[in-house]
Structure 1
Amino acid sequence: MQRLVKSLLMNFVLLCLFLAAALPASAASSEPGIAIGLHPGTVGCPPGTEQPALSALYKNRVVEALTTSQDVYGQQILAKPEGPTYDNVKDFFTPIMYAIAPAAQGGFLTDTGVYYIPFGQPQQLTARGDLALTVADGSQIISNKADNLSTRIFVGAGGQEQFGSCLANLSTPALYKGYLPILQLQYRDHDGIEYQQESLATNLPGTDIVASYVEITADRDKSGHKPANIRFQVCSSCNLHQEGNQLVDEQGRTYLYFSPGATLSNSDLVYNLDAPNNENNSVYIVRPVTPIVNAPAIHVDKGEQKRARVESAAYWENRLSEGRLFQVPESNVMDAQRNLLIQDLQMTWRYSLGNAYEAFYQPESSSTMGVLGRYGFTGVYKRALQDLLPLSKGSTRRNWEIGEKLSHAADYYRLTGDSSLIIENLAAYKAYAVDLATQHAGDPNHLLARQQYSSDVKGLVYGLHQIGTALFGLQNMVSVWRELGETDLADKYAPIADDLRVWFDKAIKQSSTVMPDGSLFTQVMLLDKEEPYDHLPTTVLGSYWNLVAHYGFSAQVYAPESPEAKATLQYLYNHGARLLGLLKVRDGAINDVYETEQAKFLADNDQSDQLVLSLYNQLAHGMTRNTFITGEAASVGPLASKWPLQFGACEIGTSCTPPSFENGWAPNEYYRGMYLSPNTANNGFFLQLLRLMLINEMTNNKGEPQSLQLAFSTPRGWLENGKKIQVHDAPSLFGPISYTITSKIEHNQIMADLDVPSQRPIGNLQLRLRIPAHKQLIGVEVNGCPYTKFNSSTETIDLTGLTGKLIIRADYR
């Protein structure tokens, strides 16, 4: 299939497609009728279809947001009395719809360019199992990898219109119950016939064979009962034949089961909705992800579809019940929480599924698993850390990996009290310490050996992110070794870590610049000539600084609330690090994969409103609407400015400057794109944000827990009258945490119940009650007694020293 189309040929391509759609069935090819061009969401639409369009005001606003060094629109939202909400941010940008691939691989992951959702049912903690990559517009189901065997779905006159190919006629893709991996769609074809499609994947009855279950129902009442076919293009080159209700190849492998009423035409399965045996206008198929020999007998009908739906829902509800979800009074946040957990339980440590990014990457893989652990999926966390232990991208990238492996092993122990991971892999963790110690001893600047900046930036550097993470990991492990009685190891490596800290701090001071605005710039390339970036996303290295520097900051290069940390925050805010609270990068895009660490830095420095801003904009603009799919990066500006090869502005192998933000918009551009979706680490960012709002453990630079902040950054709307926040038995570095906050603010009262964790001493314990505006905290009772340790201006109650069960009443006026 042609995927990269030069812009000069685009109008011709569109014309050909429209003419092909108008041909009678006998004259049209049995191959897909969609060709990817500049804007794939429009190529399946009949002439004259009204398309959504970007206004001049919208384009100007986007250009301003991309070219201004401060987050001007984020500041406007923060200034609202109610603060950030989903409703007051959701219309800033259009939705994400396209899944972008490298240009050399065709430019898009699917026929229509629309993203896919991986459906499966893994049977082991970190095994992926077979996957049905289900395209969100209902057009295609792909087996395991984006360029593999697929089934395409067509509707309309002669069955020639690929389902969902005209996005203007497609409902926003949605999930069953808002979060379960069961796709639900509505589509209107060229003749006005309306279709409903449901697609899911679960095991065939009595087996562990994963298969897609698809139901399509046509409603022709509004079209005057115009003729229509539903056609499934299963495999044109497989020489399929029919055996009962199965399509089988010459080797006896079953590719498809189907409901009665279909005919086989050139390996395509076709339902004529005018035939007497198709009076109910509903058809059903069951598609094994991998064609199977000796296939079990299955009767495909509405009852079997229902059974599959119930089984799929039960499987994922059961998996979710293994963790500890947070209960917050906002349905779309709850749906996102549940679905992102489902996605990451399926992908685990893999960066993505079904494309070139289905692999491990550090630090992303360990970071994502750490977030899953904090949602109670500690078994997955442990198994993933074991899987990741032997994996490496090579010696010139190992320090970042070592830091992640050491720090997350220590974190797993502190979170669970389970020392087996460290004890059973003691030789490996000791070898990492030996490696770091050897590098430190041999380095001319008493740091660690220079390493490759990143996978894309090849130069060797003293990386703030790499050394900071490695040192944080070593100090974490030394502390845990001492706690576990490995005193010889702790005594040997503690002085080495302390000495590295001294020299690291010296290098940071030599590599920092106070900016004219009073903010602090810290080089990522320590001791090199890296000048401050006035606006980070305008250069390649500035953009990469914004991706990796936060790993150093979250590893406490600067102590929380220190003057240096506060000045660093001002650098981020004043020099282009954020766009509507999301991580702004070059070419008019956001990349929230790497905002997980920034979020921790913000939380540790009490940037509550900024975290709320990030949460709602990630929900609205960092993932797909209703289906919660993320990529590594997502466009905000013109598609051709971000991906000039894929969208026709440049040609592979030629030198080309992408079009400017002002001039890059195509006439029919509307939807945004994301790169190599889905993405576990980007999912983890939202989950990390949500948890930080409710639970933030403050540690020292050895990872030792010091303070516990509860409900420090919740959206103010969550404590409107009658609403409730619940945390039940959530893992933390201090032990399991449970609390409930109930708003009776119309009666000038907030109630909170808290079970103080007791596994480790808590240096400082604080609870914050962020209520809607215009009320003032005037008094507190704890367990029925007046309590004076509260700060009305910060809405914070200091509970330090209290233990057991606390019943708290806060009074307002």
Structure 2
Amino acid sequence: MLGSLQAQTPANTTSAKLPTLEEAVASRSDLWGEAALRQPDGPSYEFFEKLLPPPRYVNADFKYYPIVLSAPNNKVKARLISNGSGINLRAGSRSWHDTGTPVTFRVGPDEFLFGGLRDRLSEPTLAEGFLPIVEIRYRHASPWQSEGLVPVDQKKVYPVPEIYRLESFAGTDPALADNGVVFTKFSLAQGSNGIVTVQVGAPGPLKFADGNVTDEQGQVLACFDTRWKWERQRAQARLTPNTSATLAVPTKPIPVSARFEFTAATYGQEREACARAWRQILAQGMNVETPEPRVNNAWRQLLIQNFELINGDRVHYSAGNQYDQLYEAEGSDAALAMLMWGYERDMRRLMVPLFDFTRKGLEFHQAGFKLLNLSRYYWQTRDAAAVKELQPRWEKEARRLDENRTGPNGLFPKERYCGDIATPVYTINANAKGWRALRDLSAVLAEVGEQDEAQHYAQVASEFRKTVLTAIGESVRRETTPPFVPVALYGNEPPHDPICNVRIGSYWNIIIGYTIASGIFPAGSEEETWIPRYQEQHGGLCMGMLRAGGGAFNFWTGEHRINPLYGTRYVLDTLRRDDPEGALVSFYGMLAQGFTRNTFVCAEGCSLAPVDDGGRFFYCPPNSAANGHFLSMLRSLLVQDWDLDDDGRPETLRLLFATPRRWLNDGQTIQVEHAPTAFGEVSARVQSRLSQGEVSAEVELPRRQTPRQTLLRLRVPEGWQVKSAQVGSQTLEIDARGTTDISGLKGKFTVRFQVEKHQ
């Protein structure tokens, strides 16, 4: 039962009463998203934050979501339970994979489970807001005079309860990374008399010598500094305000022959090395600084998470659970997001396993992704050598799409409706995406000098588009407004209304975005908005995120759910059609209600109904594609490179087209450095001096290629208007939305905008 949970009205919102959760999920429109649009300066994190408690719980014995800890790209990954109860704890559920030796943390003389009571537990935080060095605090008072020496004239006292502080991270030293060593430090944030107990949950008797806990085979399962004592097959340390106790837990046991030496000093050295390693990785890509620290922390941590989830050269969907594997669509989304942030060498190596991946019954679906990945990679890098090196792989997929349009009406043979639904259909997604893949491949081949093949695939794509549009026209259901576009072409798929009323409708909602992104409908046509408008008007969205569920498919997460990661194409299309406010609903809805607080962990699916006032269920976190979804959104709020003339070649660059208006409040700065685009790197630094009637934008345009059209926009706060713009002595035209055409400018320059406040 949802009950009538009343959404808490956020500060600085309009005074209208917000819909309850029950009202929000019953509505065919996105009531909370619409309310966000009515707020001053539009959607915000603060508006969405108080509507629901955050994702927190998982279907595992440890209940609280795990935080994956790993060196970059490593195959051995540990999990820290987010309430601080332990490392590599057993899940007890078929959805989760157990790894390493479970190590449990207890506090106080009564050895109470760390994090056992939520009301005494803090939210986990990350060092500097984004580094994978996790701190968790837990309040647990030590009994006063517990040793029994109680004076007969005892006076009532109010001792300060102990607050235990745990800090954990994975070592990045190559000598340790392959064993997935997690370093942990305990200290007191408050109080004076703390006790920490560590249980190493290996079968059989354990031995403790020289600070090492070993199993019967002599393998090292844990290492402790000199503050720990061993008793009752447990390690225990006393803490005072000025002391700490450290340990190291290898996820893969360390052979005694490795001679790993651990001391209190080791912890600090490894912590510094960990922070340095991750900063170096972040420095390789685009840098973004916005006026919102939470946004800045999010993009950094999400990139770090995805490097933690990469397994060698395979970008896995998750880690430590049933999704700890490669998937074509979701893996491509995660990899492409990293490409958009400048990790081009990583995209190059990640593409190979994505090309080699196959799953029976989805071959045409997969082929489209593989070719589109290559096309996007080429336009950003102009790496003709990679196109040549990968030719055996892309040629195989191109021929698959070219030579197998053998179904009735010229479509591909039937495939699975989607990965989870085996029902065979003539799927719109595979066919629309297949057309786009062939068309875009032809443009790439023309650029690298393969003119004959380019011409062949261009001709095939031109004919195939007509075939697909005919099939859509003959399959669309017009009894709804807007018309319903089915996944199953010529399959008599009825309109799903409301969309999530049954399971198949939920799957339609989360996969139909592949057709949106294909661009199969001509730009500016009525048809191009049929799918997104249907989602918006028939129950497909909540807080800008795609909904899923259905009364007959409630699983353990509840009947009403969101699947944020599959909204990438909906949001990017919203931005292509230049609807920034609509995109910002999705952006802030995801940031506030798709992620955990502070740690930015997401999952494939998340319940809307809370378990309690502390959180909601979500399924098998973390999730690399969900991380990629947010990264793609943020990048596209700031920098967009588009093929708007529909020829397969990007020609338009749009800068700062969808930034939140509050980001240009007086005194604020937006900075984008080394943003990769299809034309080369672009940088911009915008400083708002509204009180002086000016906003300045320092811009450095791409040098490799000049876009046919380059546009710059200033989205100033409500009540303000951009009146004019100048570069040196040159006056630029400004439209009503604060947009100016800077196509005639080159290199580095400063645009000075004059702004006025409405009277």
Structure 2 equivalent of residue 386 of structure 1:
352
Report the CA distance between 1:669 and its aligned residue: 6.0
1:689 and 2:633 correspond: yes
Structure 1 equivalent of residue 496 of structure 2:
533
Distance 1:139 1:560, change over 3 A: farther
Structure 1 equivalent of residue 741 of structure 2:
798
- State which of 388, 405, 419 in structure 1 corresponds to 2:384: 419
Unaligned runs of 5+ in 1: 1-37, 39-52, 101-107, 640-667
Report the CA distance between 1:443 and its aligned residue: 2.1
Does structure 2 conserve the Cα–Cα contact (< 8 Å) formed by 1:253 and 1:295?
A: no
Structure 2 equivalent of residue 230 of structure 1:
196
SS in 2 for 1:389: helix
Distance in 1 (alpha carbons) for counterparts of 2:456 and 2:523:
28
Structure 2 equivalent of residue 455 of structure 1:
419
Does structure 2 conserve the Cα–Cα contact (< 8 Å) formed by 1:555 and 1:701?
A: no
Residue by residue over 1:255-297, the C-alpha shift from the partner in whole angstroms, topping out at 9 and shown as x without a partner, is 1111224333343223356xxxx79553211112211112434
Does structure 2 conserve the Cα–Cα contact (< 8 Å) formed by 1:324 and 1:375?
A: yes
- Aligned partner letter, 1:176: A
Structure 2 equivalent of residue 435 of structure 1:
400
Distance in 2 (alpha carbons) for counterparts of 1:219 and 1:374:
40
SS in 2 for 1:231: strand
Report the CA distance between 1:540 and its aligned residue: 1.2
Does structure 2 conserve the Cα–Cα contact (< 8 Å) formed by 1:463 and 1:525?
A: yes
Report the CA distance between 1:143 and its aligned residue: 8.4
- Aligned partner letter, 1:85: S
Structure 1 equivalent of residue 567 of structure 2:
595
Residue by residue over 1:125-159, the C-alpha shift from the partner in whole angstroms, topping out at 9 and shown as x without a partner, is xx433222111111111189742333333334445
Structure 2 equivalent of residue 343 of structure 1:
305
Structure 1 equivalent of residue 162 of structure 2:
193
SS in 2 for 1:292: coil
1:129 and 2:75 correspond: yes
Does structure 1 conserve the Cα–Cα contact (< 8 Å) formed by 2:206 and 2:233?
A: yes
Calculate the TM-score normalised by the size of structure 1.
0.83
Structure 1 equivalent of residue 506 of structure 2:
543
Structure 2 equivalent of residue 554 of structure 1:
517
1:57 and 2:6 correspond: yes
Report the CA distance between 1:161 and its aligned residue: 1.5
- State which of 284, 288, 295 in structure 2 corresponds to 1:322: 284
1:763 and 2:726 correspond: no
Distance in 2 (alpha carbons) for counterparts of 1:508 and 1:777:
43
Does structure 2 conserve the Cα–Cα contact (< 8 Å) formed by 1:588 and 1:638?
A: no
Structure 1 equivalent of residue 233 of structure 2:
267
- Aligned partner letter, 2:717: P
1:119 and 2:69 correspond: yes
Distance 1:148 1:347, change over 3 A: closer
Distance in 2 (alpha carbons) for counterparts of 1:279 and 1:432:
63
Structure 2 equivalent of residue 501 of structure 1:
465
- State which of 175, 181, 197 in structure 2 corresponds to 1:211: 181
Calculate the TM-score normalised by the size of structure 2.
0.89
1:250 and 2:219 correspond: no
Report the CA distance between 1:678 and its aligned residue: 0.6
Distance in 2 (alpha carbons) for counterparts of 1:83 and 1:220:
41
1:488 and 2:452 correspond: yes
1:780 and 2:744 correspond: no
What pairs with 1:698-713 in structure 2 (closer than 5 Å)? 698-699=642-643, 700-701=645-646, 703-713=648-658
Report the CA distance between 1:631 and its aligned residue: 0.5
SS in 1 for 2:753: strand
- Aligned partner letter, 1:62: L
Report the CA distance between 1:308 and its aligned residue: 1.8
Structure 2 equivalent of residue 400 of structure 1:
365
Does structure 1 conserve the Cα–Cα contact (< 8 Å) formed by 2:86 and 2:105?
A: no
1:608 and 2:587 correspond: no
Does structure 1 conserve the Cα–Cα contact (< 8 Å) formed by 2:561 and 2:605?
A: yes
- Aligned partner letter, 1:135: I
Residue by residue over 1:355-408, the C-alpha shift from the partner in whole angstroms, topping out at 9 and shown as x without a partner, is 1101111211112111101101111111000122111112x2011110010011
- State which of 618, 623, 629 in structure 1 corresponds to 2:595: 623
Report the CA distance between 1:299 and its aligned residue: 4.0
What pairs with 1:640-651 in structure 2 (closer than 5 Å)? none
- Aligned partner letter, 1:704: R
- State which of 580, 588, 609 in structure 2 corresponds to 1:637: 609
- Aligned partner letter, 1:129: K
Distance in 2 (alpha carbons) for counterparts of 1:203 and 1:801:
47
Residue by residue over 1:320-350, the C-alpha shift from the partner in whole angstroms, topping out at 9 and shown as x without a partner, is 1111122212100000000000011222321
Report the CA distance between 1:190 and its aligned residue: 6.0
Structure 2 equivalent of residue 14 of structure 1:
none
- State which of 32, 41, 50 in structure 2 corresponds to 1:91: 50
Distance in 1 (alpha carbons) for counterparts of 2:522 and 2:290:
31
What pairs with 1:719-758 in structure 2 (closer than 5 Å)? 719-758=664-703
Report the CA distance between 1:97 and its aligned residue: 0.8
Does structure 1 conserve the Cα–Cα contact (< 8 Å) formed by 2:688 and 2:694?
A: yes
SS in 1 for 2:290: coil
Report the CA distance between 1:797 and its aligned residue: 1.1
Residue by residue over 1:724-773, the C-alpha shift from the partner in whole angstroms, topping out at 9 and shown as x without a partner, is 11122211012111122111112121111222224344232211110111
Does structure 1 conserve the Cα–Cα contact (< 8 Å) formed by 2:220 and 2:253?
A: yes
- Aligned partner letter, 2:371: L
Report the CA distance between 1:239 and its aligned residue: 1.9
Structure 2 equivalent of residue 363 of structure 1:
329
Does structure 1 conserve the Cα–Cα contact (< 8 Å) formed by 2:183 and 2:249?
A: yes
- State which of 405, 410, 413 in structure 2 corresponds to 1:446: 410
Q: Name the Cα RMSD after superposition.
A: 2.3
Distance in 2 (alpha carbons) for counterparts of 1:329 and 1:265:
52
Does structure 2 conserve the Cα–Cα contact (< 8 Å) formed by 1:782 and 1:808?
A: yes
Distance in 2 (alpha carbons) for counterparts of 1:153 and 1:443:
58
1:577 and 2:540 correspond: yes
Distance 1:154 1:432, change over 3 A: closer
- State which of 40, 45, 63 in structure 2 corresponds to 1:81: 40
Distance in 2 (alpha carbons) for counterparts of 1:287 and 1:708:
49
Residue by residue over 1:32-63, the C-alpha shift from the partner in whole angstroms, topping out at 9 and shown as x without a partner, is xxxxxx9xxxxxxxxxxxxxx99842497111
Unaligned runs of 5+ in 2: 9-18, 91-95, 143-160, 550-558
SS in 2 for 1:421: helix
Distance in 1 (alpha carbons) for counterparts of 2:196 and 2:5:
40
Distance 1:304 1:487, change over 3 A: same
1:679 and 2:628 correspond: no
Report the CA distance between 1:416 and its aligned residue: 0.5
What pairs with 1:504-515 in structure 2 (closer than 5 Å)? 504-514=468-478
SS in 1 for 2:684: strand
Does structure 2 conserve the Cα–Cα contact (< 8 Å) formed by 1:767 and 1:798?
A: yes
Distance in 1 (alpha carbons) for counterparts of 2:162 and 2:172:
32
Structure 2 equivalent of residue 164 of structure 1:
115
Distance 1:541 1:702, change over 3 A: farther
Deviates more, 1:278-287 or 1:583-592: 278-287
Residue by residue over 1:697-746, the C-alpha shift from the partner in whole angstroms, topping out at 9 and shown as x without a partner, is 22155531132211111001111111111122211012111122111112
- The percent identity for this pair of structures is 28
Distance in 2 (alpha carbons) for counterparts of 1:203 and 1:434:
43
SS in 1 for 2:357: coil
Does structure 2 conserve the Cα–Cα contact (< 8 Å) formed by 1:329 and 1:718?
A: yes
Does structure 1 conserve the Cα–Cα contact (< 8 Å) formed by 2:433 and 2:514?
A: yes
Distance 1:55 1:238, change over 3 A: farther
Does structure 1 conserve the Cα–Cα contact (< 8 Å) formed by 2:485 and 2:530?
A: no
- Aligned partner letter, 1:410: S
Distance 1:778 1:96, change over 3 A: same
